[in-house]
């Protein structure tokens, strides 16, 4: 028996751990990632329809070798199940909607629950949450909103890695010089008013059992979690914005465009897309795939002064 066959055979007996390469022999090199839209920001003068996806998240995934399917709000559960069975991963983007009452939160919960079920059945399905996506994951896992206000609206920070980060799935293959830049230079963009404090994380058994903290940060008053990954699921969350450095251009504090910031962005994206390559979902046929992809929509240029330089809009 070749070692790969042995590996596959033993993987079938044991639970395949998140981040496993047991399926290395059958990676999916045409991964498709779903990105949920969210309710338009009130007063957005460029808005068309009633929901949007910031184009930077799409470019971020595309640059790492994935294609994107927009997941539109206000659809039926059955439609979401069909999409779930056709895509290879989910990215929950940043934004500004209610984490318990918005359509975005409803869609996120549907996909989160489907992803838990799929992974439990050895159907490897990764989720990445950025900023609001991070916060949404904390609400989905704990069933509560445990966030607290922090002074982190437009600031670039170095990550304070915990020792476990070195052996984390997310960071273990990052080049050493990049990890050093991440820990020493102010290259992670923070644009959030709410954070998960280390205190609330530690006091919530559900969060503590589910996620391993990889890095923290502080606003000077409160220590909060800036990066984490789930222990048993291929779920990853960053409170900072890796997609902004290469793809957003508003000129304000907190924005960083140094080569190390761009490199950090790319390494997070390539990591997540390589996780999605372990999933084998596909559309029932090529015409269904063509209809679903984001290429059917054109982003709208909002101007260099906008927090998102381009948005996709949807009905
Ligand atoms: C979307 O669904 C919500 C309820 O889930 C409803 O309040 C809202 O009006 C719907 N929006 C549109 C544009 O259909
Ligand atoms: C903990 O969570 C509660 C909400 O349940 C919030 O009001 C409080 O500010 C949080 N405290 C800290 C220290 O994060
Ligand atoms: C990084 O940001 C912190 C907090 O804003 C600041 O105190 C520090 O001087 C900055 N460091 C560099 C090298 O810019
Ligand atoms: C593709 O699949 C859809 C849904 O299963 C079906 O309705 C459609 O007829 C199929 N189209 C082709 C060209 O096979």
Which residue, judged by its Cα, is nearest atom 11 of ligand 1?
A: 74
Averaged confidence pLDDT in the chain? 94
pLDDT score, position 3: 43
Instruction: Measure the CA–CA gap between 67 and 292, rounded to whole angstroms.
Output: 10
Which residue, judged by its Cα, is nearest atom 8 of ligand 2?
A: 148
Pocket of ligand 1 (CB under 6 A): 50, 74, 103
Instruction: Please write the tens of the pLDDT for every residue from 193-248.
Output: 999 999 999 999 999 999 999 999 999 999 999 999 999 999 999 999 999 999 99
Which residue, judged by its Cα, is nearest atom 7 of ligand 3?
A: 157
Is 98's C-beta closer than 6 angstroms to any atom of ligand 4?
Answer: no
Is 159's C-beta closer than 6 angstroms to any atom of ligand 3?
Answer: no
Ligand nearest to the CA of 139: 2
Cα dist from 210 to 16, 108, 155, whole Å? 16, 17, 28
Please pick, among 46, 192, 241, 281, the residue that the annotation labels catalytic: 241
- Alpha-carbon dihedral of residues 110, 104, 289, 31, nearest 10 degrees? -80
CA of 124 to the centre of ligand 2 (A): 33
Phi, psi of 215 (to 5 degrees): -150, 155
pLDDT at 13 over 50: no
pLDDT score, position 11: 43
User: Which domains does the chain carry?
Assistant: 31-314 (3.40.50.880)
Is 214's C-beta closer than 6 angstroms to any atom of ligand 3?
Answer: no
CA of 267 to the centre of ligand 3 (A): 23
pLDDT at 176 over 70: yes
pLDDT score, position 19: 56
Mean pLDDT throughout 140-168?
A: 97
Is 186's C-beta closer than 6 angstroms to any atom of ligand 3?
Answer: yes
pLDDT score, position 52: 98
- Give the atom of ligand 1 at the shortest distance from the alpha carbon of 103: 5
Instruction: Please write the tens of the pLDDT for every residue from 69-112.
Output: 999 999 999 999 999 999 999 999 999 999 999 999 999 999 99
Instruction: Measure the CA–CA gap between 207 and 195, rounded to whole angstroms.
Output: 14
* Nearby residues of 108 by Cβ (< 8 Å), 6 or more positions away: 36, 92, 133, 136, 140
Q: Is 257 a catalytic residue?
A: no
pLDDT score, position 131: 98
Task: Please give the DSSP secondary-structure letter assigned to residue 249.
Answer: -
- The DSSP H or E segment spanning 193 is strand 188-195
Could you tell me which of 115, 34, 46, 44 has the C-alpha nearest to residue 75? 34
Mean pLDDT throughout 160-182?
A: 97
- The DSSP H or E segment spanning 107 is helix 103-120
CA of 295 to the centre of ligand 1 (A): 25
Bridge partners of residue 128, in order along the sequence: 91, 236
CA of 210 to the centre of ligand 3 (A): 32
Q: Do the bridges between strand 235-238 and strand 127-130 make them parallel or antiparallel, or are there none, so unpaired?
A: parallel
pLDDT at 15 over 50: no
Q: What's the pLDDT band for 6 if we cut at 50, 70, 90?
A: very low
Q: What's the pLDDT band for 16 if we cut at 50, 70, 90?
A: low
Buried b (16+ CB within 10 A) or exposed e, 256-294: beeebbbbbbbbbbebbbbbbbbbebbbeeeeebeebeb
CA of 134 to the centre of ligand 2 (A): 16
Could you tell me which of 51, 40, 66, 129 has the C-alpha nearest to residue 92? 129
Ligand nearest to the CA of 153: 3
Q: What's the pLDDT band for 30 if we cut at 50, 70, 90?
A: very high
Expressed in percent and rounded to 5, the helix, strand and coil fractions of the chain are 35, 25, 40
pLDDT score, position 112: 98
What SS3 state is found at 206?
A: helix
CA of 184 to the centre of ligand 4 (A): 52
Please pick, among 131, 192, 257, 281, the residue that the annotation labels catalytic: 131
């Amino acid at each position: 028996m070749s070692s790969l066959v042995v590996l596959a055979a033993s993987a079938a007996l044991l639970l395949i751990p998140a981040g496993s390469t047991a399926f290395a022999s059958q990676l999916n090199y045409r991964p498709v990632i779903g990105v949920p839209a969210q309710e338009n920001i009130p007063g957005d003068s460029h808005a068309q329809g009633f929901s949007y996806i910031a184009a930077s998240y799409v470019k971020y995934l595309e640059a790492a070798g994935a294609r994107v399917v927009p997941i539109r709000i206000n659809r039926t559960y059955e439609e979401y199940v069909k999409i779930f069975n056709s895509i290879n991963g989910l990215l929950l983007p940043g934004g500004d909607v209610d984490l318990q009452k918005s359509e975005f939160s409803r869609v996120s919960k549907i996909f989160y629950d489907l992803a838990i079920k799929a992974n439990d059945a050895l159907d490897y399905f990764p989720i990445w949450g950025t900023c609001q996506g991070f916060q949404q994951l904390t609400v989905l896992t704990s069933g509560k909103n445990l966030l607290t206000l922090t002074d982190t609206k437009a600031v670039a920070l170095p990550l304070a890695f915990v020792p476990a980060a070195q052996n984390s799935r997310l960071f273990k293959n990052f080049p050493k010089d990049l990890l050093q830049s991440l820990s020493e230079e102010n290259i992670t963009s923070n644009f959030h008013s709410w954070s998960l404090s280390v205190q609330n994380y530690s006091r919530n058994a559900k969060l503590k059992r589910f996620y391993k903290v990889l890095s923290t940060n502080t606003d000077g008053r409160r220590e909060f979690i800036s990066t984490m990954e789930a222990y048993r699921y291929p779920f990853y969350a960053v409170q900072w914005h890796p997609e902004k450095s290469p793809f957003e251009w508003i000129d304000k504090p907190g924005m960083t465009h140094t080569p190390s910031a761009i490199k950090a962005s790319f390494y997070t994206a390539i990591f997540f897309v390589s996780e999605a390559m372990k999933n084998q979902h596909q559309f029932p046929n090529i015409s269904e795939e063509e209809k679903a992809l984001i290429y059917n929509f054109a982003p709208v240029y909002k101007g260099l002064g906008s927090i998102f330089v381009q948005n996709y809009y949807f009905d």
